Amino acid sequence: MRVTVATGNAGKVREIEAALADLNWDLQPVQGVPMPEETGATYAENAALKACTVALMTRTTALADDSGIEVEALNGEPGVYSARFGGRDSDLERNVYLLEKLRGQANRRARFVSVLVLAHPNGQVESYRGELSGTLLEGPRGDGGFGYDPLFVPDGQTRTLAEMSVAEKQAISHRGKALAALKAAKRRG
Ligand code: ITT
């Protein structure tokens, strides 16, 4: 099956391609389709918006991920706004901004959420979700992964997500869990 990967985030592409390699899908990058504005209030709405737009424009099945980090001490912020937290333009600037917001804060609990939507050209839509809880450090560690990975130590681990290989992150992460649920559903037929 030909599937357009409806994301402009290279980190997500790496993880999606690695997880789905054994499904033997023909994964294509999204090209020439402007991604819609993420106007939804939830990950599920935004993922559906991205996947359905790309499915319509390309007439292929499209896979989108909407995700974010929810910080307990910030009442769940930035959540669906994680990619534009504080109006900052880069992962590095957003990490610095998050660390500033949490300076002196003892509660470092946070969780990642990922919702994947697979949208078919006939209008059928499938949705899969995964979560990962952990704590935020007071400074970055590691240079793998993307986004908030250098600040985040998953529960039961000592390394940040940025200190893990793609496979190690995938085995425990929010996106890894959502991708595993998608694969299990496909294997069931
Ligand atoms: P697309 O919409 O094109 O897929 P995006 O990066 O804008 O790319 P989102 O709107 O879903 O995607 O924003 C998700 C943000 O949440 C992402 O930019 C990171 O800042 C953060 N994030 C999500 N998953 C993450 C992960 O596994 N590790 C670190 N940060 C993550």
CATH number at residue 170: 3.90.950.10
Q: What pLDDT shows up at residue 76?
A: 98
User: Based on the structure, what is the number of domains in the chain?
Assistant: 1
What is the span of the domain harbouring residue 180? 2-188
Q: What pLDDT shows up at residue 31?
A: 86
Q: Let me know if 22 is a catalytic residue.
A: no
CA distances 63 to 3, 56, 80, Å, are 7, 12, 18
pLDDT tens-digit series, residues 115-151: 999 999 999 999 999 999 999 999 999 999 999 999 9
pTM: 0.97
Number of H helices, E strands in the chain: 5, 6
Going from the Cα of 69 to the center of ligand 1, the distance in angstroms, rounded, reads: 9
pLDDT tens-digit series, residues 23-64: 989 999 998 888 899 999 999 999 999 999 999 999 999 999
Which residues is 154 bridged to in the sheet? 134
For the chain, strand residue ranges (E) read 2-5, 26-29, 61-71, 109-119, 125-136, 152-154
Q: What pLDDT shows up at residue 34?
A: 87
Degrees to nearest 5, angle at CA 149 with 78 and 115: 55
ipTM: 0.98
For the Cβ of 15 lying below 6 angstroms from any atom of ligand 1, the answer is no
Going from the Cα of 66 to the center of ligand 1, the distance in angstroms, rounded, reads: 7
- Collapse the DSSP code of 134 into the 3-class scheme (helix H, G, I; strand E, B; otherwise coil) and give the result: strand
